[in-house]
Amino acid sequence: MKTLGPLIAEHPFFKNLEKSYLELIVGCASNVRFDAGQFIFRQGEEANQFYIVRQGKVAIEICPPGQNPITLETISDGEILGWSWVIPPYHWQFDAQAVELTRAIALDGKCLRNKCQEDHSFGYEILNRLVAVIGKGLEAARIQLLDVYGNQSKR
Amino acid sequence: MDVANPMVPETRRVKRVIRETHDTLTLCVEPGDDEAERSFAPGQFNMLYAFGVGEVPISISGDPGKPRLWHHTIRDVGTVSHALTQLKAGDTLGARGPFGSAWPVTASRGSDIVIMAGGIGLAPLRPAIYAILAERDQYGEIVVLYGARTQKDLLFSKEFESWRGKYGVQVRVTIDSAGPYWKGNVGVVTTLLPRVRFDPAHTVAMICGPEVMMRFSVIELKNHGIDEKNIHITMERNMKCALGFCGHCQLGPTFICKDGPVFSFDRIKPFFGIREI
């Protein structure tokens, strides 16, 4: 069985990261699993972790009062779950619920953001990577807002 | 279609109507008593005439290996499409065609295939999928990525299992908006691309959907290393004559009806996404 070190080093999110930084990240990492239906985090809770989904599917949801929850997006194998751990006040903005059995690597966000504060080079490396994830999410959300498959798109 | 006068529609009869979704159905039409069977290539369209209402271009969505029965998948969004969706088995309609260019199915033998469809855009791609699956061993990986608005808007979903199980197609589906009972993917169709296997250097991509969706799909396919000459899209404009005479569907120097609707991206790129045209 692979240890977390190679798994993290091979992940695109950490590509080309210095060895000392990788070691630090591995020290903040642990294997976790969530059963289908299990909440990984809930809106308003403190955001002190983030996750690399190794296998499975996670729904990012919001639940309007008195209504069924709405799934905004799903996160699957190899993708990064969560960025609120790096944005004050460090609270989750949405719920995350495992749609199916999900295995992931959990990273201690509190430890990493302290390290980012202490070592700005490390902080730049992490934020640089995270901005790409946030940018992709923002772009996808904007396209979803367009409702491109609505009635204006006739064929 | 009268070959001597391609502006004159032939009479065709609706053999069967397949209800696909809440606002979309497929008309299966066969030649009228005096009309000939006419073959078509994947990606081509017909001009369908609802008598007394009007004529619209509708892609052929059926199997090119069974050309006697033309399948046309129609969404009820306008006056003519509404009239067409009211037809029942045994009713007649006018048809001219098939017109236009085709997906590069045979030219793509030996390659991996990535098909990206959005909404009703899966309909013009389905003949290409049928043609590819008819000679499955001629192709490498086959990927079908399909995005729709909601679960109830998904087309042809009964066929996905057969494509997966019988032919080893990597079918991934996503929707923009989901309720609590949907266990599949949610998000835009481009997010599915990193989740499938293909060799970008030897891949041909075919995209059909709303133009905005195709724009972002092209960007993502190029980001994944697919050369733009291997990316093919189908364009839609206001097609009227379908013969390149009237000019309604002109896009830059091309006529969508005659030169398209299927284009390789490198050809249409200079005119793609320009808001003035």
Task: Give domain status of residue A152, yes or no.
Answer: no
Q: Topology of domain B106-234, per CATH?
A: Rossmann fold (3.40.50)
pLDDT surpassing 90 at residue A131: yes
* Cross-chain Cβ contact B75/A70 below 8 Å: no
Reported pTM: 0.90
Using CB atoms, which residue from A140, A153, A155 is nearest to B187? A140
Residue B48: CB atoms within 10 A of its CB come to 27
Q: pLDDT tens string for chain B (277 positions)?
A: 556 688 889 899 999 999 999 999 999 999 877 777 788 999 999 999 999 999 999 999 999 999 889 999 999 999 999 999 999 999 999 999 899 999 999 999 999 999 999 999 999 999 999 999 999 999 999 999 999 999 999 999 999 999 999 999 999 999 998 888 899 999 999 999 999 999 999 999 999 999 889 999 999 999 999 999 999 999 888 888 888 888 888 888 888 888 889 999 998 888 887 777 7
d(CA B264, CA B250) in angstroms, rounded, equals 17
In this prediction, residues A75-91 reach a mean pLDDT of 95
pLDDT at B240: 85
For A58-70, the pLDDT digits (tens) are 999 999 888 889 9
Size of the A and B interface in Cβ pairs below 8 Å: 89
**Do residues B96 and B10 touch, judged by C-beta distance below 8 A?**
yes
Q: Per residue in B175-195, is it b (16+ CB within 10 Å) or e — as a string? A: bbbbeeebebbbbbbbbbbeb
A34: domain CATH number is: 2.60.120.10
**Do residues A72 and B186 touch, judged by C-beta distance below 8 A?**
yes
B227: which residues sit within 8 A by CB, 6+ positions away? none
Residue B14: CB atoms within 10 A of its CB come to 18
Task: Give domain status of residue A120, yes or no.
Answer: yes
Which residue ranges make up each domain of chain B?
A: 10-99, 106-234
Closest-CA residue of B relative to A77 is B195
Nearest CA of chain B to the CA of A81: how many Å? Answer: 14
| Owning domain of residue A31 | 4-144
**Do residues A4 and A14 touch, judged by C-beta distance below 8 A?**
no
Outline where DSSP puts E strands in chain B.
10-19, 24-31, 45-50, 54-59, 70-75, 92-99, 112-118, 142-148, 170-175, 185-186, 203-208, 231-234, 250-251, 254-255, 262-264
Domain count, chain A: 1
Which residues in B lie closer than 8 A to residue A70 (C-beta atoms)?
Answer: 177-179
Using CB atoms, which residue from B124, B149, B187 is nearest to A149? B149
When scoring B150, B185, B211 by the number of chain A Cβ atoms within 10 A, the one with the most, hence best to mutate, is B185
CATH class of B10-99: mainly beta
Indicate the SS3 state at residue B136.
helix
**Do residues A117 and A123 touch, judged by C-beta distance below 8 A?**
yes
Which residues in B lie closer than 8 A to residue A99 (C-beta atoms)?
Answer: 183
Nearest to B14 by CA among B84, B89, B71: B89
Indicate the SS3 state at residue B230.
helix
**Do residues B220 and B190 touch, judged by C-beta distance below 8 A?**
yes
Which residues in A lie closer than 8 A to residue B176 (C-beta atoms)?
Answer: 144, 147, 149
Which residues in A lie closer than 8 A to residue B123 (C-beta atoms)?
Answer: 155
pLDDT at B2: 57
- B115 secondary structure, DSSP code: E
Residue A141: CB atoms within 10 A of its CB come to 13
Task: Give domain status of residue A151, yes or no.
Answer: no
pLDDT surpassing 60 at residue A9: yes
Which residues in B lie closer than 8 A to residue A149 (C-beta atoms)?
Answer: 118-119, 147-149, 153, 176, 209-210, 213
Task: Give domain status of residue A96, yes or no.
Answer: yes
Using CB atoms, which residue from A74, A140, A148 is nearest to B212? A148
Task: Give domain status of residue A155, yes or no.
Answer: no
Grade residue A90 by pLDDT with cuts at 50, 70 and 90: very high
Nearest CA of chain A to the CA of B17: how many Å? Answer: 18
Task: Give domain status of residue A127, yes or no.
Answer: yes
What CA–CA distances, in Å, run from B225 to A7, B136, B190, B271? 24, 24, 14, 22
